[in-house]
Amino acid sequence: MRKTVKIPLSYQALYERAYAILESVTPIKADCGRLCGKACCKVEEDITGMYLFPEENVMFRDLPSYASLYDTDFEYDYGRYADLFTCDGSCERHRRPLACRIFPLLPYCKEGEEPRVIMDPRGRGICPLARTLSVDELDPEFVAAVEKVTRLIMKNPQVRKFVYELSKQVDMCL
């Protein structure tokens, strides 16, 4: 009998799949941007933005004019540093990075444990949902989509290391 060998997804295929799962879900059924004036998309004077997941820059080879990529000192694996994605406060929705699609949720995992999805504690300062609601109070379809994406991306060893390190970072905010 022929054995089926599972070929790991390329990074492009991985993120295309993750983006598709999250394409049409939102944290709550209503437009939460009306609660806060789209606070998570506001541009501050300092460079603020969101980390791209490992190799997610494959999705931004042709960088849109409203976006920039920066190096960071966030080392999630030996010699591997996260890129920072910034925008001018607007974007083509279908091209927003993974961190924007899952905000205010975050995959959280300690080595040897099962990954879970938490409310991103770094979002409390800007996001009224992160400040006042629990994960269970967000739209269940959104939460289920973020959980599905978390299971998908955690199959990739580099993403696992990234999530482990990010989880240590957010522990300081819990």
| Ramachandran angles phi, psi of 98, nearest 5° | -60, -40
| Stretch touching ligand SF4 by CB under 6 A, among 16-24, 39-47, 156-164, 166-174 | 39-47
The residue range among 26-34, 72-80, 137-145, 152-160 that interacts with ligand SF4, by the rule CB under 6 A, is 26-34
Interface positions, 57-96, toward ligand SF4 (CB under 6 A): 87, 89-91, 96
Q: Whose CA is closest to 49, among 78, 71, 79?
A: 71
Structure tokens at 173: 């905010």
Mutual orientation of helices 11-21 and 140-153 as an angle, nearest 10°? 170
Amino acid, single-letter form, for residue 50: M
Stretch binding ligand SF4 (CB under 6 A), from 25-33, 108-116, 136-144, 151-159: 25-33
Q: How far apart are CB 131 and ligand SF4 at their closest, in Å?
A: 9
Q: Write the single-letter amino acid at 86.
A: T
24 binds ligand SF4 (CB under 6 A): no
